[in-house]
Amino acid sequence: MVHYQGSITALGNNLDSIDTGITQLEIVFSTPAQSLKVNNIPTSITEGQYKFSTIFGDPIPARYHIDIGPGVPERAEFDIYIGGQKANQTVMFDPEPVNGCKINNCYNVTLDLTVDVIPRPTPTAVPPTPTPLALVNPSLYSGEIRIGSTLVPDNVEIYAILVDYQSEIVKTSGGRYSITLNPGTINYVGQDFNLIIQGVYSLTTLPFEANVFTSDSNFLFPDFEVTTLPIPMLLEAPTPTPIPTPMPTPTPPEPEKIIIVVTPTPSNEKPQSLVAESTGPRESEPLAEPLAEQGGGCSSSGGGNSSISIFSLLLALLLTVLSYRKRLKFTK
């Protein structure tokens, strides 16, 4: 390994005194393409196969320091680049010269560098903004499909391939197809497309055109056995059996309550006059019986109220007294 160091001058001025605008100025030692003998064997070295780099002013200001090796073939040449600009000097890596070292130490070499251009920052390339592709309208293609010489069976799935665009899957009917291609952008216009059936490409290709509607775009396929999809049978939906709505259990009407109010009614029968002229003495007991029969007193069979019964009893008593006095009078 050899250590190289030195100063750098640009256009006659010390590089350290020039404002290059580069924060970290890189010094690169790199091999150009060359041929040399290694152990007497011809060997080719490619450009940049051996590359070493350092930063100007690190660790000592205004100087560069760099180590080359190990593993580098002896007598390999290096180009030197200062901030991307090629220096006027080159280096031959020769730690053990054949004729002996002509300097004090061949493993520590001082090499001042010069450059004819002041290094400047490399502008960062800004990629141009890509122009968006123009949009195109979809197209509808339809026509016959023949597999060999036979029309394609019904219910066979097909789709189209246009470059990297794949269309929707449709099914054949009556030996024909109808398919929509909508790749979206103008770069697909003029590109050929195929129809695909069960992995087999059509022999026919057609160029895609935007906003067209064709009915005679026929396609031919090589003869092969096509597996058709079973046609699903339409089953009538069973008529649902109506579920009778349960009727509420009738609630028997509550019988009307009849409230009987018993109101005592005074008897309309006039009490039979018990005043009679008597021509002879009479017993008082027989007079009481008719009163009982007429509802007087407290008899339960009477129709009058209690006040009438008391009145009848008092009247009967009065009549008895009067009758008794009258008998006394007639006796005297």
Same structural domain, 108 and 157 = no
Residue 154 confidence (pLDDT)? 96
Q: 100, 115, 130 — which closes off a domain?
A: 115
Mean pLDDT of 52-65: 94
Q: Which residue has the higher pLDDT, 205 or 279?
A: 205
Q: Which residue has the higher pLDDT, 169 or 103?
A: 169
Residue 233 confidence (pLDDT)? 64
pLDDT range class, residue 264, cuts 50, 70, 90: low
Same structural domain, 106 and 153 = no
- Nearest to residue 27, comparing CAs of 77, 61, 59, 65? 65
> Does residue 266 fall inside a structural domain?
no
Q: In the chain, which residue ranges form alpha helices assigned H by DSSP?
A: 285-293, 306-331
Find all residues with CB under 8 Å of 194, minimum gap 6, and list them. Answer: 160, 161, 201, 202, 204, 205
- Nearest to residue 165, comparing CAs of 123, 129, 194? 194
> Does residue 207 fall inside a structural domain?
yes
Judge whether residue 289 has pLDDT over 60: no
Same structural domain, 111 and 143 = no
How far are the Cα atoms of 288, 293, 301, 302, 308 from residue 305, in angstroms, in the given order?
A: 18, 15, 11, 8, 6
Distance in angstroms (rounded) separating the CA atoms of residues 287 and 156: 130
Same structural domain, 198 and 110 = no
**What percent of the chain is predicted at pLDDT more than 90?**
52
Same structural domain, 169 and 209 = yes
> Does residue 121 fall inside a structural domain?
no
Same structural domain, 20 and 83 = yes
pLDDT range class, residue 257, cuts 50, 70, 90: low
Domain that holds residue 290: 285-331
Residue 297 confidence (pLDDT)? 43
- pTM (2 d.p.): 0.40
> Does residue 269 fall inside a structural domain?
no
Residue 293 confidence (pLDDT)? 44
Same structural domain, 70 and 143 = no
> Does residue 199 fall inside a structural domain?
yes
Same structural domain, 109 and 143 = no
Same structural domain, 56 and 144 = no
Residue 319 confidence (pLDDT)? 84
Q: 83, 115, 147 — which closes off a domain?
A: 115
Mean pLDDT of 206-230: 93
- Nearest to residue 83, comparing CAs of 135, 28, 34, 131? 28
- Nearest to residue 8, comparing CAs of 101, 87, 92? 87
Dihedral of alpha carbons 310, 312, 314, 320, sign? negative
Name the domain count of the chain: 3
Judge whether residue 232 has pLDDT over 80: no
Judge whether residue 32 has pLDDT over 70: yes
Q: 221, 252, 274 — which closes off a domain?
A: 221
> Does residue 276 fall inside a structural domain?
no
Judge whether residue 271 has pLDDT over 70: no
Q: Residues of 302-318 as b/e, b for ≥16 C-beta within 10 angstroms?
A: bebeeebbeebbebbee
> Does residue 125 fall inside a structural domain?
no
Residue-wise pLDDT tens digits, 34-46: 999 888 889 999 9
Q: Which residue has the higher pLDDT, 235 or 135?
A: 135
The CATH number of the domain holding residue 148 is: 2.60.40.1120
Distance in angstroms (rounded) separating the CA atoms of residues 112 and 164: 59
> Does residue 275 fall inside a structural domain?
no
Average pLDDT of every residue of the chain: 82
- Candidate from 1-5, 65-69, 118-122, 274-278 with smallest mean pLDDT: 274-278
Same structural domain, 293 and 205 = no
Residue 103 confidence (pLDDT)? 66
Judge whether residue 286 has pLDDT over 50: no
Same structural domain, 176 and 95 = no
Dihedral of alpha carbons 140, 144, 148, 152, sign? positive
How many other C-beta atoms lie within 10 A of the C-beta of residue 157? 14
How far are the Cα atoms of 234, 239, 248, 261 from residue 245, in angstroms, in the given order?
A: 32, 18, 9, 47
Same structural domain, 106 and 173 = no
Mean pLDDT of 73-96: 92
